């Protein structure tokens, strides 16, 4: 046991109290025993103990009162009650007041240890859950969304305002711009942050499955429905449901969703009574919903229900000043994950990624950085490695003399790469596989670049 678990023991029967103390100490627990309940409660300090074990029948302050007062001081701590008279009524009363377990006298040391282990497992789960929630809340704080461009600042200012208002939000933008990240930021900065954030990609599931996933179904509603199934709307009760690629919703699902947004209730498949839940709906799309409304593939009334507030995420090519910041962020993540020490992008690679249009936006940049770090052998990411994963034609580098060089920088970079590869191939007697291995490229990339620069053996 790496860290001793701390147990507070209260029992006015001194012999039993000392026996339990000895058993727990022998099994690696830190124990403090009291025979006077008033003193135990008075000296109880929240956070100092992982578990309380108390007798019920005690003079002065009985175990139920001890339970109540300790729970007032530290509501999440598990309490095991000991009694020689475990009536149903007493058990119910103890459990209602927050007792974790009841232990009936007489009991063997093994049973005591078994109950203690179970109670402490619950403490660990509660702590892990608390830490996870704190981690999530921290992860989606606005200051942790990477970027300093005017476009991103405008988005975050809008997100900060609407997070606290319980209204529907439609997030628009190209694929890979971070729409789900913004939805999570809205949730974790809203009054609903203590409840679940549930996401579904409406374009990833066939129509026959999507309706059941969203709204649930009753046993026997269709072939294969062998039991009652809770839908994602019910799972998100009290929290937030995020509908990604909402433009792909089929018409029958649009109708049911519209009813929910209007009435806050819906019908499970095969059910005869509506189910009522409290859920905030956020949605996102990379398609033009106005055009979908015009051509009849998306309901106009649903569009206005979802689009109470619109947040548009600019593509990465419109926030180029954020590209180096994002690249540095993804490099730091990979360094932390794999224990590497890549310091960043070298000068040429920095210029290249800053001027590339990134059609796949942030998602593509993240993947390219990860792939490049897997192939790079130095302490900086270089242009020859990065160019294996994205097309970087000479004109995309084109910085003129203001970058400190003479003539066209892009043409100079192209000449450098062509000369580098030609020299590399020459050293390996035009063995393409050997040259690619030394360059850290795959064969397909090497052949593509040979074709690009018309490199062939003379």
Supply the CATH classification number for the domain 318-452: 1.10.8.60
pLDDT tens by residue, 232-280: 999 999 999 999 999 999 998 999 999 999 998 988 887 778 889 999 9
Torsion angles phi and psi, residue 377, rounded to 5:
-105, -15
219-229 average pLDDT score: 71
**Nearest to residue 323, comparing CAs of 380, 375, 368, 284?**
368
Q: Any idea which architecture 142-314 has in CATH?
A: 3-Layer(aba) Sandwich (3.40)
Look at 8-17, 114-123, 159-168, 310-319 and tell me which has the smallest mean pLDDT.
114-123
Q: Please state the domain extents for the chain.
A: 6-135, 142-314, 318-452
Task: Work out the number of other CB atoms within 10 angstroms of the CB of residue 433.
Answer: 9
Q: How far is C-alpha 114 from the geometric centre of its chain's CA atoms?
A: 34
Q: Taking all residues of the chain, what is their mean pLDDT, rounded to a whole number?
A: 85
- Rounded Cα–Cα distance for residues 420 and 410 (Å): 15
Report pLDDT for 106.
84
Look at 85-94, 102-111, 202-211, 278-287 and tell me which has the smallest mean pLDDT.
85-94
Q: How far is C-alpha 255 from the geometric centre of its chain's CA atoms?
A: 30
Name the band, by pLDDT with cuts 50, 70 and 90, for residue 403.
very low
pLDDT tens by residue, 113-141: 998 998 888 777 766 666 555 555 555 56
Report pLDDT for 381.
93
Task: Report in angstroms the alpha-carbon separations of 57 from 201, 251, 257.
Answer: 56, 64, 56
**Within this chain, domains 142-314 and 318-452 share the same CATH topology:** no
pLDDT tens by residue, 199-223: 999 988 887 788 888 888 777 666 6
Report pLDDT for 170.
97
Report pLDDT for 310.
96
Q: How far is C-alpha 52 from the geometric centre of its chain's CA atoms?
A: 34
pLDDT tens by residue, 137-156: 555 566 568 888 888 889 98
324-346 average pLDDT score: 90
171 pLDDT more than 80: yes
pLDDT tens by residue, 36-66: 999 999 999 988 999 999 998 888 888 899 9
Report pLDDT for 405.
43
What is the enclosing helix (H) or strand (E) of 380? Answer: strand 380-381
Supply the CATH classification number for the domain 6-135: 3.40.50.2300
225-233 average pLDDT score: 80
Name the band, by pLDDT with cuts 50, 70 and 90, for residue 401.
very low
Report pLDDT for 92.
76
292-299 average pLDDT score: 95
Model confidence, pTM: 0.61
Torsion angles phi and psi, residue 155, rounded to 5:
-60, -45
């Amino acid at each position: 046991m790496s860290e001793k678990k701390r147990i507070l023991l209260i029992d006015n029967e001194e012999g039993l109290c000392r026996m339990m103390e000895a058993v727990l100490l022998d099994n690696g627990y830190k124990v403090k025993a009291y025979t006077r309940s008033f003193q135990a409660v008075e000296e109880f300090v929240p956070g100092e103990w992982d578990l309380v074990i108390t007798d019920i029948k005690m003079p002065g302050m009985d175990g139920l009162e001890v339970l109540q007062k300790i729970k007032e001081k530290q509501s999440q701590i598990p309490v095991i009650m000991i009694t020689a008279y475990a009536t149903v009524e007493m058990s119910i009363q103890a459990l209602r007041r927050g007792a974790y377990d009841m232990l009936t006298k007489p009991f063997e040391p093994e049973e005591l240890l078994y109950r203690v282990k179970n109670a402490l497992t619950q403490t660990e789960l509660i702590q892990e859950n608390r830490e996870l929630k704190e981690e999530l809340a921290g992860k989606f704080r606005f200051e942790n969304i990477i970027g300093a461009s005017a476009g991103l600042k405008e988005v975050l200012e809008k997100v900060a305002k609407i997070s606290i208002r319980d209204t529907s939000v439609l997030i628009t933008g190209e694929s890979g711009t971070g729409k789900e990240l913004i939805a999570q930021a809205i949730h974790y900065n809203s009054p609903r942050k203590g409840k679940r954030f549930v996401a579904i990609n409406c374009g990833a599931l066939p129509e026959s499955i999507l309706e059941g996933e969203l709204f649930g179904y009753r046993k026997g509603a269709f072939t294969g429905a062998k039991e009652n199934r809770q839908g994602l709307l019910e799972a998100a009760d009290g929290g937030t449901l995020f509908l990604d690629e909402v433009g792909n919703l089929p018409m029958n699902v649009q109708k049911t969703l519209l009813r929910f947004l209007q009435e806050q209730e819906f019908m499970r498949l095969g059910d005869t009574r509506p189910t009522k839940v409290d859920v905030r709906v956020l949605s996102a799309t990379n398609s033009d919903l106005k055009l979908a409304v015009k051509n009849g593939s998306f309901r106009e009334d649903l569009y206005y229900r979802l689009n109470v507030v619109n947040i548009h995420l600019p593509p990465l090519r419109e926030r180029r000043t954020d590209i180096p910041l994002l690249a540095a962020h993804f490099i730091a993540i990979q360094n932390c994950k794999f224990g590497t020490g890549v310091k960043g992008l070298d000068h040429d690679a920095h210029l290249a990624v800053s001027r590339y249009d990134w059609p796949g936006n942030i998602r593509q940049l993240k993947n390219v950085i990860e792939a490049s770090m897997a192939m790079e052998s130095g302490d900086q990411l270089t242009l020859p490695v990065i160019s294996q994963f994205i097309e970087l034609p000479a004109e995309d580098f084109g910085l003129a003399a203001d970058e400190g060089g003479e003539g066209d920088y892009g043409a100079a970079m192209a000449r450098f790469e062509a000369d580098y590869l030609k020299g590399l191939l020459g050293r390996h007697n035009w063995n393409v596989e050997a040259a690619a291995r030394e360059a850290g490229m795959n064969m397909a990339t090497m052949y593509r670049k040979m074709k690009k620069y018309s490199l062939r053996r003379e």
